[in-house]
Amino acid sequence: MSSIIQLLPDHVANQIAAGEVVQRPASVVKELLENAVDARATDIKLIIKDAGKALVQVIDNGLGMSVTDARLCFERHATSKIRQAEDLFSLHTKGFRGEALASIAAIAHVEMKTKQDQEELGTHIIVEGSKFVSQEVAVLPKGTSFAVKNLFFNIPARRNFLKSDTVEYRHVIDEFHRVALAHSNIHFTFYHNGSEMFNLPPSTLRQRIVNIFSGKTNEKLVPVQEETEIVSIQGFVSKPEFAKKNRGEQFFFVNDRFIKSGYLHHAVMAAYDGILKDGAQPSYFLYLTVPPNTIDINIHPTKTEIKFDDEHALYAILRASIKHSLGQFNVAPVLDFDRDSNLDTPYHYKDLTGETPTIQVDGNFNPFSEEKPSKQFSSYRKPEPTANWESLYVGLKQDTDEIGQMTFENEEVTSSLFNDEEVEHSVHKTYQIHKKYIVSSIKSGMVIVDQQRAHQRVLYEQFLVNMTVHQASSQQLLFPLNLFYSSSEMELIAELQLSLRNTGFIFEENNTDHIVISGIPVNVTESEVSLVLEQLLSDLQDGIPESSFSQNDTIAKSMAKSLAVKTGTHLTEKEQENLVNGLFACKDPNVSPFHKPTFITMRVEDLDKKFAI
């Protein structure tokens, strides 16, 4: 009987390993950038085409590699960081992953050029699908250049699973941000399809954050600094008023390595407890330095999750340090129990000087005299006699007759107050319960409407019609709005501008870090514009749909969710009636845009059963 178990060929093993290491072009970007950082480069260039599907190239001026190292780096389990198993627990460089370059070379065309500073000539190697095509000597500058072309060329199924260029480009941007933020002392340049997207010179940490996210980032940041035996914390958190709905600008770095930690995120949110709106997410850029032997970085294939020895102490220190910074910079409210607020001077009296009161006494005043005093000392001033006072009474009798006639008519009206028709007319048609539901009577019983979901449905269909028919009306703003966003958010807004114009937005100009809006839809207030766009950007984090209908549908849903009346809002009787009438005028009034029921009905028979005993 033949053997069932057999060893896989190297190229097949590399392709299987690539499935774990290389999931998308952003994975290649991460590997090559980290290798460039470990090579002690001071200048790193990232060049991509078609969101990395056609080309990912990283050029650095680091140490370079010898001829032997250049060949060995494409072998499995090849690394410059590990000599023995104990080294896994004391890593000071980027994460150990011996299959990285071997996996990349197994599923792409790789061209590597490298040269050490002390050597006169460098090495030029071409690998295609784990096969070495050529290796030759070449005249090259100091450093290393990796060009990865045609990713997943030999695995069509994996290539078909890649998302659109917009989505893949955003993943590449995220990886670039993580490496660039971790190393502010390195000059990074990023090119996409021949256009320069980022040029980040060496700078301080604060300046690096501002250069990446642009806009008014600088005024949003509050510094955090803490030194303990367990951990050293430095970085920045955002002021509560600049919190967003999405979790885009949230970064944890442990020993200059980007990580994701729900536990540490909870510590940050606990520090903001009581000063954030519901659902708001603060931005933070926090750098933690801990002894390497107190963490385990090998619990996740991509090294984005790590294990701490003493998580509870780290949680408490992080929460306390952020809370202290927010209070120190007068961001969080501070209570002073020794101060009596009743003694505070009101603002409009703060700069006024007090007037000394004067006393005037009438020596001739006799309280028992029947004659009135000749001089008044009160502040009352007797009005001057009006000229032609007789004209004030002209037509008085005619007006009096009309008033009497009107009063008589009113008496006739009030006499019919208790007629059946009038009583029926005065009954409320709708009622609001707990500022959440609207109850209205129908022939068979009553209908109970969820006001928020109903308004979402009404707004959703309105926006969809406006975008489809292109007949949206706008209201002109007296002063244009300047809204600042990061570079990635600006690209999203640029792609959505045509659809947003169809809803009623008017854009005057687009700059690199902000947009200028001069007109907004008629059912959007000026204060709601930033909230609407912020919610839209949050909903499109995973990318913009390809088809125009899907784009319009997504935008209409997002704007309806932002602008719909919320639970807890009091509605007048007229507003309740308009909302109910608007709901049942919709094409599909039964469900909200998010497929939740908008109303339920209760028949009189159902109510009778409730009372039947």
pLDDT in tens, 531-557: 888 888 877 766 666 666 777 888 888
Does 44 share its domain with 148? yes
Instruction: Determine the number of helices (DSSP H) and then strands (DSSP E) in the chain.
Output: 18, 22
The CATH number for 317's domain is 3.30.230.10
Shared domain for 179 and 225, answered yes or no, is no
pLDDT at position 182: 93
Instruction: State whether 187 and 239 are in the same domain.
Output: no
Domain count, the chain: 3
Question: Which amino acid is present at 267?
Answer: A
Q: Which of 50-59, 207-216, 493-502, 601-610 has the highest mean pLDDT?
A: 50-59
- The enclosing domain of 508 has a CATH number of 3.30.1370.100
pLDDT tens digits for range 381-403: 545 555 555 555 555 555 445 44
- Which of 272, 299, 328 marks a domain boundary? 328
Looking at the fold, whether 323 and 255 belong to one and the same domain comes out as: yes
195 in the same domain as 247: no
Mean pLDDT of 455-460: 93
**Higher-pLDDT residue of 316, 354:** 316
Q: For 157-188, give the DSSP string.
A: HHHHT---HHHHHHHHHHHHHHHHHH-TTSEE
258 to 181, 261, 284, 289: CA distances (angstroms): 9, 10, 13, 12
What angle (nearest 5°) sits at the alpha carbon of residue 387, between those of residues 386 and 389? 75
Residues 252 and 115 in one domain: no
250-259: pLDDT as tens digits: 999 998 889 8
Report the distance separating Cα 461 and Cα 467, nearest Å. Answer: 10
Between CA 408 and CA 258 the distance in angstroms is: 83
Are 179 and 228 in a shared domain?
A: no
Token digits for 432?
A: 């609001």
Q: pLDDT at position 332, please?
A: 57
Residue at 452 is within a domain: yes
% the chain with pLDDT above 90:
27
Model confidence at 341, in pLDDT bands (50, 70, 90)? Answer: low
User: Does the pLDDT of residue 349 top 80, yes or no?
Assistant: no
What pLDDT shows up at residue 191?
A: 94
Residue 288 lies in a domain: yes
Closest C-alpha among 531, 587, 582 to residue 245: 531
Highest averaged pLDDT of the listed ranges 210-219, 354-363, 486-495, 594-603: 594-603
pLDDT of residue 379: 46
Does residue 3 lie within any of the structural domains? no
Neighbours of 451 (CB within 10 A): 26
Instruction: Report whether 52 contacts 25 (CB < 8 A).
Output: yes
d(CA 244, CA 484): 13
> What sign does the CA torsion over 544, 550, 554, 559 have?
positive
In angstroms, the CA 460 to CA 563 distance is 10
Looking at residue 10, what is its pLDDT? 63
One-letter identity of residue 40: R
pLDDT confidence of residue 183: 94
CA distances to 192, 197, 390, 488 from 543, rounded to whole Å, are 18, 19, 80, 11
- Look at residue 125 and tell me whether its pLDDT is greater than 80: yes
Choose among 318, 320, 297: nearest CA to 309: 297
Does residue 434 sit within a domain?
no
Q: What percent of the chain has pLDDT over 70?
A: 76
**164, 259: one domain:** no
pLDDT greater at residue 349 or residue 114? 114
- The residue behind tokens 């002894």 is 291
- Is position 142 within any domain? yes
User: Residues 47, 131: one domain?
Assistant: yes
Last residue of a domain, one of 328, 346, 380: 328
Q: Given 272, 307, 328, which residue is the final one in a domain?
A: 328
Nearby residues of 260 by Cβ (< 8 Å), 6 or more positions away: 252, 304, 305
Full 3-state SS string of 121-150: CEEEEEEECCEEEEEEEECCCCEEEEEEEC
Are residues 167 and 278 both part of a single domain? no
87 and 191 belong to one structural domain: yes
Using alpha carbons, list the distances in angstroms from residue 30 to 73, 176, 288, 528. 17, 7, 21, 38
pLDDT at position 411: 42
Its domain, for residue 574, covers: 439-600
Helix %, strand %, coil % for the chain, to 5?
40, 20, 40
The whole-chain average pLDDT of the chain stands at 79
**Domain assignment present for 60:** yes
pTM: 0.69
Better-predicted residue by pLDDT, 376 or 266: 266
- Residues 224, 273, single domain; the answer is yes
CATH code of the domain covering residue 194: 3.30.565.10
**Residue 422: inside a domain:** no
Provide the 10 A C-beta neighbour count for residue 307: 12
Lowest-confidence region among 162-166, 398-402, 522-526, 599-603: 398-402
In a domain, 287, yes or no: yes
344 compared with 417, residue with greater pLDDT: 344
Give the pLDDT confidence of 271-318 residue by residue, as tens digits. Answer: 998 888 777 889 999 999 988 887 777 655 566 777 787 888 899 999
pLDDT at residue 495 is higher than 60: yes
Type of residue numbered 560 = A
| pLDDT at residue 3 is higher than 70 | no
| For residues 397-418, average pLDDT | 45
Cα distances (angstroms) measured from residue 532 to each of 236, 244, 466, 556: 27, 11, 17, 11
